[in-house]
């Protein structure tokens, strides 16, 4: 589901050792007790910063979601059939994916802070930036080319 | 900007006391508020999409579900902000996964609206 996790450097050795790593990860999203039982409570400022980072990602997801909704609701049909709908769906799916990734990253950061481990490295921001950039270029080409 | 120097005579407790001028809780509260604003905008856009031409049964269902999710998000935010104002650090429980799920629900509602609308038109 999220390829960045399998490719990411194995900072979370505990998760990598697990056979059902994905299931364990998902369980950690919803089971605060499991996250809270390991290690020691970090300075609350770090936890609040982690929470704000999560919320910032949620807003990023909401922005893409809102962009997709606006494309579907306000954009006139484009030259290429169904391009408008495809763009809207991709943007909204990306928004939902970012929300899921936000909770995953939050849980992993919280766990790392409790265990005194380095914060999890992630390629997701880079991948997202490349995807959005490429999408913008492709879209520009798709819109400009038929007009010329 | 003058940074208040923390005068810690005793060793730091597991939950260090809120130092004067510490804006962490306030910044987090404002972050929650910004998030609810963004979510409200998304719900309005879902409503716009749902009543594009007329209100179909699916559109009404979408609006109802989106409103429920929005109310859930408002409730979660309110609960979190209240907890933070009473006690820092406030335990967070399952609030954040629930928030993420409401966003996913918005995305699913929007995608269904576009897919069904595209098939029907």
Whether the CB-CB separation of A71 and A65 falls below 8 Å is answered with no
CA distance B51 to B120: 14
* Highest averaged pLDDT of the listed ranges A86-95, B13-22, B23-32, B86-95: A86-95
Question: Which of A55, A67, A70, A74 should we substitute to test contact with B (largest number of B Cβ atoms within 10 Å)?
Answer: A55
Read off the pLDDT of residues A27-70 as tens digits, 9 standing for 90 and up: 878 776 667 777 888 888 888 999 999 999 999 999 999 999 99
Of A54, A85, A99, the CB nearest to B114: A85
Say whether pLDDT at B14 is over 80. Answer: no
Distance from CA of A57 to the nearest CA of B (A): 10
* CB spacing of A95 vs B103 below 8 angstroms: yes
The pLDDT, as a whole number, for residue A27 is 80
Is pLDDT of A17 > 70?
A: no
User: Which of B16, B28, B93 comes nearest A48 by C-beta?
Assistant: B28
Query: Residue A15: what pLDDT?
Result: 43
Give the span between the Cα atoms of A113 and A45, in whole angstroms: 11
ipTM of the complex: 0.80
- Shortest Cα distance from B90 to chain A (angstroms)? 9
Q: Where are the domains of chain B?
A: 31-117
Separation of CA B61 from chain center: 22
Q: Give the tens place of pLDDT for each residue, B26-60.
A: 899 999 999 999 999 999 999 999 987 678 888 99
Chain A CB contacts of B100 below 8 Å: 29, 58, 99-100, 102-103
Collect contacts of B50-55 with beta carbons under 8 A, ≥24 apart.
B50/B113, B52/A73, B52/B117
């Amino acid at each position: 589901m999220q390829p960045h996790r399998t490719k990411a450097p194995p900072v979370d050795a505990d998760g990598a050792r697990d056979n059902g790593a994905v299931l364990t990860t998902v369980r950690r999203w919803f089971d605060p007790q499991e996250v809270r039982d390991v290690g020691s409570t970090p300075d609350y400022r770090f936890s609040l910063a982690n929470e704000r980072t999560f919320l910032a990602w949620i807003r990023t997801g909401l922005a893409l979601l809102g962009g997709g909704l606006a494309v579907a609701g306000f954009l006139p049909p484009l030259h290429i059939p169904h391009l408008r709908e495809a763009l809207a769906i991709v943007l909204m799916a990306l928004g939902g994916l970012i929300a899921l990734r936000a909770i995953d990253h939050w849980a992993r950061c919280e766990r790392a802070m409790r265990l005194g481990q380095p914060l999890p490295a992630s390629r997701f921001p880079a991948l997202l930036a490349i995807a959005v950039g490429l999408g913008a270029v492709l879209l520009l080409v798709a819109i400009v080319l038929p007009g010329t | 900007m003058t940074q208040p120097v923390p005068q810690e005579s005793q060793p730091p407790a597991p939950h260090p006391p809120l130092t004067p001028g510490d804006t962490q809780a306030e910044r987090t509260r404002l972050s929650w508020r910004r998030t609810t604003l963004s979510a409200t905008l998304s719900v309005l856009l879902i409503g716009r999409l749902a009543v594009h031409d007329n209100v179909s049964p699916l559109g009404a269902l979408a609006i109802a579900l989106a409103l429920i999710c929005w109310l859930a998000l408002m409730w979660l935010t309110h609960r979190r902000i209240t907890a933070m104002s009473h006690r820092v650090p406030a335990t967070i429980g399952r609030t954040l996964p629930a928030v993420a799920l409401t966003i996913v629900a918005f995305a699913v509602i929007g995608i269904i609206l576009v897919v069904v609308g595209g098939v029907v038109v």
